[in-house]
């Protein structure tokens, strides 16, 4: 059986174990952390200023709550980002993710009905795109977020090509 | 043909090879306003009574005299503007009076063909024909056709879908069917009597209205609750008996045939290789009799039942016909989760089990109401392993197999290493399982 090392591991963090795992580029982590800092920073300012001005300087300690949350979220995002990885094997795509709730998905190329590249306004601003695979089963949740748009398009083209070569109906 | 375009819109023009539905079709629309009135009266009896007392009989009759012909005219026009044609690879339905709509249904994608005859349609000698295709809408059915015409059309559609040459497809005719199972009415009645849901709905219908009467004393409130409850009770007992009466499963080169119904007759044909999953369900009360129900999933089809009730051996034999080369694993052949799963999910873990053969993946779950699900490897669309913190503590994981009919089979509480191994091997099996599957056009090989 050829589990195949992927021909192209595409950069970031090629693992050394049998399937050539690829991690996500750091852009997604940067974006998520920035959003976290911005929103919780605003919240911290609000939580510090309002009670501080209205009830006395001691109450400004409320600002510590969002700050603690920010520190926690910072590590959480890092762990979550590190847990995401995918591998293009000879016949199927492997996606593994999750820290507490781990999940690993295998989608044979022949079962792909549609490959989608999406990019929202925020993602676009950070130069990110996600690839989503659809099979005939609605429960298949094979999404790779936060890819470089060029890599996303390369992946889409390669998956489509492989999908056509190994295509099968229902 | 005349020039399309102007002439087309004026006459609702018929193009070459196109046919119209049966001429009784407009009649079914004529009674729509009456049905709407009755439905409204049942739904909101209080309001309806008040409104009706204000109307005189004359106004009511005039309203009906206007509404019924209007509906009849609408029915006639929509019939006049509906055409269908069978081409080499498609069934085309062209319809719509104001909003034109053309549906092209690819025949090799057909998952099942249903010919339905509601009671009144049986009296009139007509039938509905519906192709189950993924994404097909309810309105893509051909209602109504002459009963013989529907049968001939079904044979032709199946022949074309099977890959017979277009010239011969017309003459191939209906493939001979061989009966493999017929449910006796007595068994069906007994099985319904042994179903908890039947009794629960009956009890609700008998107990709730008197209690409400005692509490409120309002006739309309009581009626408004009693009628739906009685309806549910009737549907789950008598309704099911009538719908599942004379359930016959047959086998033909065109696939599986299911014929059923006492008043409304339904004839379903599922071509080979369309069945995504099969489930053998064993309700608690049927266990003494050794009876089971067999359910199946076909993408795009609404009927989930293959056999309403049958002894286990018979059901297993039917499953072996539906999924060729598949042996249904016995309870003892199933591999149970490891013992430590009992500390993860007490008691309930005992119902779990899996079995893998060359052709299918089988998972069982349920303590009281056992359900054994089978999916052919070729029908698995994707495989997932999930593990939450509580499962990880006991080194357990769940394996999910997603199939095309929107159903997911889950092998719960497996050993983590075993789950990883299952993920790897199942992906391989589902990929290779496709190779020896029959082609979409099952007669071309």
Are residues A83 and A96 in contact, defined by beta-carbon separation less than 8 angstroms? yes
Are residues A111 and A120 in contact, defined by beta-carbon separation less than 8 angstroms? no
Mutate which of B277, B298, B402 to test chain A, going by most A C-beta atoms within 10 A?
B402
Band of pLDDT at residue A5, cut at 50, 70 and 90: very low
C-beta atoms of A101 and B387 within 8 A: yes
C-beta atoms of A1 and B428 within 8 A: yes
C-beta atoms of B427 and A100 within 8 A: no
Query: How far is the alpha carbon of A56 from chain B, nearest alpha carbon, in Å?
Result: 43
Query: How far is the alpha carbon of B250 from chain A, nearest alpha carbon, in Å?
Result: 23
Average pLDDT over residues B154-171: 79
Closest to A130 (Cα-Cα) out of A90, A122, A138 = A122
Chain B residues with CB under 8 Å of A135 CB are: 381-382, 402, 404
Which of A154-168, B190-204, B331-345, B356-370 is least confident? A154-168
A168 close contact with B: CB closer than 8 A: yes
- List pLDDT tens digits, range B137-152: 666 788 889 999 999 8
- What is the pLDDT at residue B3? 35
Which are the contacts of A75, defined by CB distance < 8 A and separation ≥ 6?
Answer: none
C-beta atoms of B134 and A170 within 8 A: yes
Alpha helices in B194-265 (DSSP H): 196-216, 219-234, 240-244
Which of A15-19, A38-42, B128-132, B179-183 is least confident? A15-19
Q: Domain ranges for chain B, please list them.
A: 185-244, 272-432
Rounded to 5 degrees, what angle do the CA atoms B65, B67, B69 make? 70
Q: Does residue B144 have a cis peptide bond before it, meaning omega lies within 30 degrees of 0?
A: yes
Chain A residues with CB under 8 Å of B420 CB are: 104
Which of A108, A168, A169 lies closest to B427 in CB terms? A108
A138 close contact with B: CB closer than 8 A: yes
Instruction: Output the CA–CA distances (angstroms, integers) from residue B92 to A124, B31, B146, B171, B362, in the order listed.
Output: 42, 28, 18, 20, 39
- What is the pLDDT at residue A168? 62
A34 close contact with B: CB closer than 8 A: no
Average pLDDT over residues A93-105: 92
- What is the pLDDT at residue B440? 74
Kindly give the pairing relationship between strand B101-106 and strand B90-95: antiparallel
- List pLDDT tens digits, range B59-106: 878 887 888 788 888 888 888 888 999 888 888 988 877 788 888 888
Tokens of B212: 């409400």
Query: How far is the alpha carbon of A121 from chain B, nearest alpha carbon, in Å?
Result: 30
Q: Count of residues for chain A?
A: 170
- List pLDDT tens digits, range A23-64: 999 999 999 999 999 999 999 999 888 888 888 888 888 889
Output B338 or B165, whichever has higher pLDDT.
B338
C-beta atoms of A104 and B408 within 8 A: no
Q: What is the DSSP string of chain A?
A: ------S---STT--SSSS--EE--THHHHHHHHHHHHHHHHHHHHHHHHHHHHH-GGGGGGGHHHHHHHHHHHHHHHHHHHH-EEEE-SSEEEEEE-SSSEEEEEEEGGG--EEEEE--HHHHHTT-EEEEEE-SSTT--EEEEEE-HHHHHHHHHHHHHHHHHT----
C-beta atoms of B387 and A170 within 8 A: no
Q: To the nearest 5 percent, what fractions of chain B are helix, strand and coil?
A: 45, 30, 25
Mutate which of A88, A139, A165 to test chain B, going by most B C-beta atoms within 10 A?
A139
H/E segment holding residue B149? helix B147-162
A160 close contact with B: CB closer than 8 A: no
- List pLDDT tens digits, range A120-170: 899 999 999 999 988 888 777 789 999 999 999 999 999 888 888 877 665
Query: How far is the alpha carbon of A116 from chain B, nearest alpha carbon, in Å?
Result: 17
Are residues B368 and B273 in contact, defined by beta-carbon separation less than 8 angstroms? no
CATH class of segment(s) A85-165: mainly beta
Are residues B274 and B295 in contact, defined by beta-carbon separation less than 8 angstroms? no
A165 close contact with B: CB closer than 8 A: no
Q: Domain ranges for chain A, please list them.
A: 30-79, 85-165
């Amino acid at each position: 059986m050829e589990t195949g090392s992927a021909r192209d591991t595409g950069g970031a963090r090629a693992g050394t174990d049998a399937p050539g795992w690829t991690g996500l580029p750091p852009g997604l982590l940067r974006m998520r952390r920035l959003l976290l800092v911005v929103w919780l920073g605003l919240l911290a300012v609000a939580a510090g200023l309002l009670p501080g001005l209205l009830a006395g300087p001691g109450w400004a300690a409320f600002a510590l709550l969002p700050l603690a949350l920010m520190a926690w979220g910072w590590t959480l995002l890092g762990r979550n980002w590190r847990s995401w990885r995918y591998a293009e094997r000879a016949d199927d795509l492997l996606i593994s993710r999750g820290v507490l709730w781990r999940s690993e998905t295998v989608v044979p190329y022949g079962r792909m009905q549609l490959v989608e590249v999406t990019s929202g306004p925020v993602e676009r601003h950070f130069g990110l795109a996600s690839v989503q695979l659809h099979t005939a089963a609605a429960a298949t949740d094979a999404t790779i977020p936060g890819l470089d748009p060029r890599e996303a398009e390369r992946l889409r083209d390669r998956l489509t090509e492989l999908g056509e070569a190994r295509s099968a109906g229902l | 043909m005349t020039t399309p375009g102007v002439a087309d819109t004026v006459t609702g023009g018929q193009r070459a090879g196109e046919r119209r539905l049966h001429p009784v079709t407009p009649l079914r629309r004529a009674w729509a306003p009456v049905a709407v009135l009755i439905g409204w009266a049942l739904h909101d009896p209080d309001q309806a009574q008040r409104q009706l007392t204000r109307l005189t009989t004359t106004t009511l009759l005039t309203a009906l005299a206007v509404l019924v012909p209007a509906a009849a005219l609408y029915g006639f026009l929509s019939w006049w503007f509906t055409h269908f044609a069978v081409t080499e690879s498609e069934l085309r339905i062209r319809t719509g009076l104001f909003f034109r709509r053309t549906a092209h249904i690819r025949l090799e994608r057909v998952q099942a063909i249903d010919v339905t005859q509601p009671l009144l349609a049986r009296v009139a000698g007509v039938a509905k024909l519906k192709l189950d295709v993924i994404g097909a809408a309810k309105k893509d059915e051909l209602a109504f056709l002459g009963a013989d015409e529907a049968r001939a059309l079904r044979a032709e559609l199946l022949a074309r879908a099977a890959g017979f040459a277009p010239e011969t497809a017309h003459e191939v005719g209906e493939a001979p069917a061989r009966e493999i199972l017929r449910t006796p009415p007595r068994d069906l009645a007994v099985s319904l009597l042994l179903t908890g849901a039947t009794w629960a709905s009956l009890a609700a219908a008998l107990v709730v209205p008197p209690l409400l009467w005692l509490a409120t004393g309002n006739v309309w409130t009581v009626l408004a609750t009693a009628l739906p409850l009685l309806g549910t009770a009737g549907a789950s007992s008598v309704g099911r008996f009538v719908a599942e009466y004379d359930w016959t499963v047959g086998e033909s080169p065109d696939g599986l045939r299911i014929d059923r119904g006492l008043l409304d007759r339904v004839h379903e044909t599922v071509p080979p290789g369309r069945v995504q999953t099969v489930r053998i369900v064993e309700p608690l009360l049927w266990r003494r009799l050794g009876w089971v129900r067999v359910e199946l999933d076909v993408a795009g089809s609404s009927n989930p039942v293959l056999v309403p009730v049958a002894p286990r051996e018979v059901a297993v034999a039917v499953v072996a016909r539906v999924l060729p080369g598949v042996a249904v694993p016995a309870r003892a052949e199933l591999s149970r989760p490891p013992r430590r799963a009992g500390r993860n999910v007490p008691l309930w873990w005992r119902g779990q089990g899996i079995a893998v053969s060359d052709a299918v993946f089988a998972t069982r779950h349920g303590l009281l109401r056992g359900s054994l699900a089978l999916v052919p490897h070729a029908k698995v669309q994707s495989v997932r392993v999930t593990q939450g913190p509580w499962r990880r503590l006991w080194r357990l994981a769940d394996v999910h197999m997603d199939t095309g009919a929107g159903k997911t089979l889950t092998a719960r509480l497996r050993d983590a290493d075993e789950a990883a191994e299952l993920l790897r091997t199942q992906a391989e099996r589902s990929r290779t399982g496709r190779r020896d599957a029959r082609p979409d056009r099952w007669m071309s090989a």
